[in-house]
Structure 1
Amino acid sequence: MNREDLETYLHQQIPLSQAMGMSVRSVTETSVTLAAPLSPNINPKGTVFGGSASTLCILAAWSTLHTRLIDAGLPSEIVIHTNTMEYQRPIQGEFVATGAVSAEADWPGFIRTLESRKKARIEIEAELRCGDEAVGKFRGRFVAFLREGR
């Protein structure tokens, strides 16, 4: 899946992504990077609202799993099961989240389980940055349900 198709999909299927001003920066074989500007995500302190930061991370993690499964020929319904978000410092400008499969995750095992049981869980992480500075960390557990008649 390419950058433009993913951005269109997210804006149509998850309207909050468009309201946030979210854009897709890059889609690679292993990660998705999303960005959002400060202005529609600002809080009364003049920094990014924590909910917006968390949402961008969830979207980057979800999109990473979505694109990897599409590329593997395994289109699936994906839902978030649990997540944690660590806010390391205030965000005072455009913020960027990059999702990737957790280093501890067993991607081949996840795929085998998804194909055999039609359902599998995996952890996806996202790093949140503002400029050159790390400003947050996200970790989420997602459940994928293999679509019938793929």
Structure 2
Amino acid sequence: MTVTARQPGIPHPRLALPTPQAPEDLEAFQRWLNEAIPMVSQLGIQAMQQQDDWLEWQLALTPNLNDKGTGFGGAFTAQTTLLGWCWITLWLRENGLVRDVVVAEASQRFLAPVTQDYRLRCRPSEADGPQQLQQRLHERGKGRIQLTQQLYCGETLCLEASGNYAVLPQPPV
């Protein structure tokens, strides 16, 4: 993909869907994400991994420092929202669907200061959330899913977040 300056009102080209024979290339997805959403390159994402029903990022603290030398809550809010968006976008891609996703509602609860590099994990809030979403998409062409994000410094849980994400109907051709 050619890197060009983003312009308001002009959608970024979509990333081609993975083939059934090849799983999602998370490094290629992250490169696309950096181009599609310019602020992503400033968030300190060092690695992305996916397993079963969760998606996890490893992040550097330094780009997310506040004036006190700990993690900036606003950065974490952006990261948790974006991580949820990535979770549902990757789930849709895995299921061969190209759809727009938006966050409908989000909340965070800060539990402890973030004082070192950290990991942020996202998963469905309900075990059957993906199956419910798949059913709604089949029946109505749109749906929602509640996702939970948790931020850990080592073994310390520093933040819990929740987001309700809407998968929009496929636009008419």
Q: Above 0.5 in TM-score?
A: yes
Q: Where does structure 1 lack aligned partners over 5 or more consecutive residues?
A: none
1:128 to partner: Cα distance: 0.7
CA deviations over 1:9-64 (Å, ceiling 9, x no partner): 22111121111222333022422111221111111100010011122211221111
User: Which residue matches 2:42?
Assistant: 19
**TM-align CA RMSD:** 1.9
User: Which residue matches 1:92?
Assistant: 115
State the AA in 2 paired with 1:10.
Answer: L
Larger Rg: 2
Q: Where does structure 2 lack aligned partners over 5 or more consecutive residues?
A: 1-23
Contact persistence 1:35–1:56 (CA under 8 A): no
User: Which residue matches 1:49?
Assistant: 72
CA deviations over 1:93-137 (Å, ceiling 9, x no partner): 112111111126532221121123221111011111112211110
Structure 1 runs of 4+ off > 4 angstroms?
none
Given the two structures, how large is their TM-score scaled by the length of structure 2?
0.79
1: CA distance between counterparts of 2:134 and 2:120?
A: 25
SS in 2 for 1:76: coil
SS in 1 for 2:88: helix
Higher share in helix: 1
Given the two structures, how large is their TM-score scaled by the length of structure 1?
0.90
Moved more, 73-82 or 96-105: 96-105
SS in 2 for 1:60: helix
2: CA distance between counterparts of 1:105 and 1:57?
A: 21
Aligned residues: percent identity?
21
User: Which residue matches 2:30?
Assistant: 7
User: Which residue matches 1:63?
Assistant: 86
State the AA in 2 paired with 1:30.
Answer: D
